[in-house]
Structure 1
Amino acid sequence: MADCVLIEGLAVETVIGVYAWEREVTQRLLIDLELGWDNRKPGHSDRVEDALDYAAVSERVTECLQSMQPQLLERAAEAVAELLMNEFGVARLILTLRKPGAVPAARSVGIRIERGNA
């Protein structure tokens, strides 16, 4: 199955980082999600109940990152991937997590992970 639901540029303000000053401020993270989801059922029924609720996904990702306040982007990405697979039944995902401004000479730094079955 190659269907997916996209959420791009989800902005989350949270405490993240390893330096003492980073633990005192919030910083913006940008998240792009490609969520493996069979879109045939909602495509035929036209019922929101059959679709992956991207508003709920966005809210839970935001809540997760704001409550955990991770030190590393890698930890944040793993926690979000686990949440999406466990709570929403997403079988596979590609998650890109960026931290704009972390390196002054770069627009952003970040990581990308892929989890689940193709």
Structure 2
Amino acid sequence: MDRVFIEGLKVDALIGVYDWEREILQPLEFDIEMATNIQPAAAGDNLELTLDYFAISQAITELVKGSSFKLIESLAEAVSELIRHQFHVCWVQVKVSKPGAVPNARNVAVQIQRGTLSQGPQQ
């Protein structure tokens, strides 16, 4: 199974559990890894046969900007569900970082993996 990556996608979000966090936008950073078979796309040099990372990045950005989760854990779950269902990805790893969330720490983050890595039929 091949992998497609989106790394360092930055989106400002309304996120957090404290009252002051519910009044401001905070920067988040997303690192996404998706399993897919890129052979058909590579053979035909055809975007329609692979994961469109621009479309996926836009969908994630729209989801984040339209949400108001308290936890980055909940947001990571929502992003993984969006990718798996809207883009038909069998396995995804999502890392959500919230830089500066904890004093004296450069970053805090959660990382989840959802789905199964499956070879499936060769195309």
Shorter-normalised TM range:
over 0.9
Aligned to 1:11: 10
Gaps of 5+ in 2: 118-123
Deviation at 1:65, TM superposition (A): 1.1
Aligned to 1:92: 91
SS of the counterpart of 2:86?
Answer: helix
* Residues 34-89 of structure 1, C-alpha deviations (whole Å, 9 max, x = no match): 01111111111101111211001000001111111110011000000011011000
Aligned to 1:43: 42
| Cα distance in 2 between the residues matched to 1:17 and 1:42 | 40
Instruction: Extract structure 1 runs of 4+ deviating beyond 6 A.
Output: none
* Residues 1-57 of structure 1, C-alpha deviations (whole Å, 9 max, x = no match): 2x0110000001010001000000000000000011111111111011112110010
Aligned to 1:114: 113
| Cα distance in 2 between the residues matched to 1:63 and 1:8 | 17
Aligned residues: 117
| Cα distance in 2 between the residues matched to 1:79 and 1:53 | 19
TM-score (norm 1): 0.96
Aligned to 2:82: 83
| Cα distance in 1 between the residues matched to 2:24 and 2:115 | 33
SS of the counterpart of 1:68?
Answer: coil
SS of the counterpart of 2:66?
Answer: helix
| Cα distance in 2 between the residues matched to 1:88 and 1:47 | 16
- Kindly report the root-mean-square deviation, in angstroms, between the aligned alpha carbons of the 2 structures: 0.7
Letter in 1 for 2:68: Q
Gaps of 5+ in 1: none
TM-score (norm 2): 0.93
Aligned to 2:32: 33
Q: Does 1:61 align with 2:57?
A: no
| Cα distance in 1 between the residues matched to 2:24 and 2:50 | 36
SS of the counterpart of 1:100?
Answer: coil
